[in-house]
Amino acid sequence: MEEITLKTGSNNKHLSQMTEIKSRYDDKQKAKIADAANEFESLMTAMMLQSMNKMTGGMLGDEGYGNDVFDTIFEQQIASQISKSKSLGIAEAIYRKVTGEDLPKFLNNTISIPVNDYKPGNSNNVQKIEPSKESINRLKKYEGLIEDASNEFGLDKNLIKSVIMTESAANHKAVSSAKAKGLMQLIDSTAADMGVKNSFDPKQNIYGGTKYLTQMLRQYNGDLKLALAAYNAGPQNVEKYKGIPPFDETQNYITKVLGYLNHFNESDI
């Protein structure tokens, strides 16, 4: 593979040559722009690590079969973590150039959503719902995947479980009348947007559903009820009705998710 020489001068010099876009973007588009900007920063960070490693013979040394392959994997993972934990400012500059606005912190970093406000005993009290033993047994198979998705996207694992229970009762082969598929009931267009190629694959489905729910929470500034309404009825309906749509299905959906959430918050399952 041809070596890439990276010049680490002024980042803003190159960014200033980008074409300025004057049009306005909605929150969903801004979230996509932010994700792309962060991914670009991660790529640039990986290239800088690669450039530095050339001078030291690589992380694992310049001898040994396959060390160059492992170096590339480590560089990509380290770059991803650096971009998440301490930004280099590249993503912010790109986002500002495209949108004319500062990159919101809730779009720039993985966040933990404060779902504790929905536990029993406060103004948002919802009666807890206990899942069936059969559905719990099915859910237990995916504990590891749920934990991984929770850590990856900074989303409460009990919320992920509650959505899975509401959507499919933890049946990874479930298909709705609207052709939503799998554990978190992804329609094909949403699955494609989230990078899911097989909605019946539990790992892809859980990651895709968690990623989408996280995007909805970001879009609605952490408002769980609005995010759930958007997950169920689509963000276009939330915008249309300026809040939770007056659909019985959506209102019952929110109540059911919160009911399961109350159960999981009080249990060890």
pLDDT tens digits, residue range 232-250?
999 999 999 999 999 999 9
Cβ atoms of 93 and 15 closer than 8 Å: yes
Looking at the structure, tell me whether residues 26 and 85 fall in a common domain. yes
Looking at the structure, tell me whether residues 173 and 248 fall in a common domain. yes
Catalytic residue among 2, 167, 249, 266: 167
Query: The pTM is what?
Result: 0.60
Looking at the structure, tell me whether residues 130 and 219 fall in a common domain. yes
Residue 3 lies in a domain: no
Return d(Cα 207, Cα 213) in angstroms, integer. 10
| Sign of the dihedral defined by the CA atoms of residues 13, 17, 21, 22, in that order | positive
Domain span at residue 222 reads 115-266
The answer to whether 3 is a known catalytic residue is no
Looking at the structure, tell me whether residues 78 and 206 fall in a common domain. no
Cβ atoms of 87 and 11 closer than 8 Å: no
Looking at the structure of the chain, the number of domains it has is: 2
Of 108, 129, 150, the one marking the end of a domain is: 108
Go through 188-226 and write b for each residue having 16 or more CB atoms within 10 A of its CB, e for each that does not. eebbebbebeebeebbbbbbbbbbbbbbbbbbbebbbbb
Residue 190 lies in a domain: yes
Looking at the structure, tell me whether residues 141 and 232 fall in a common domain. yes
**Position with higher pLDDT, 119 vs 185:** 185
Most confident of the following: 51-65, 78-92, 171-185: 171-185
Looking at the structure, tell me whether residues 70 and 129 fall in a common domain. no
Looking at the structure, tell me whether residues 91 and 221 fall in a common domain. no
CATH number at residue 146: 1.10.530.10
Cβ atoms of 38 and 105 closer than 8 Å: no
Looking at the structure, tell me whether residues 101 and 213 fall in a common domain. no
The 10s digit of each residue's pLDDT in 123-165 is 357 888 999 999 999 999 999 999 999 988 889 999 999 999 9
Query: What is the reported pLDDT for 69?
Result: 47
- pLDDT bin (cut points 50, 70, 90) of residue 168 is very high
The 10s digit of each residue's pLDDT in 7-41 is 445 445 444 444 444 456 766 677 678 777 777 77
Looking at the structure, tell me whether residues 245 and 120 fall in a common domain. yes
User: Could you tell me where the beta strands, DSSP code E, fall in the chain?
Assistant: none
Nearest C-alpha neighbor of 251 from the set 218, 219, 234, 229 = 229
Residue 257 lies in a domain: yes
Looking at the structure, tell me whether residues 98 and 165 fall in a common domain. no
Nearest C-alpha neighbor of 164 from the set 197, 208, 120 = 208
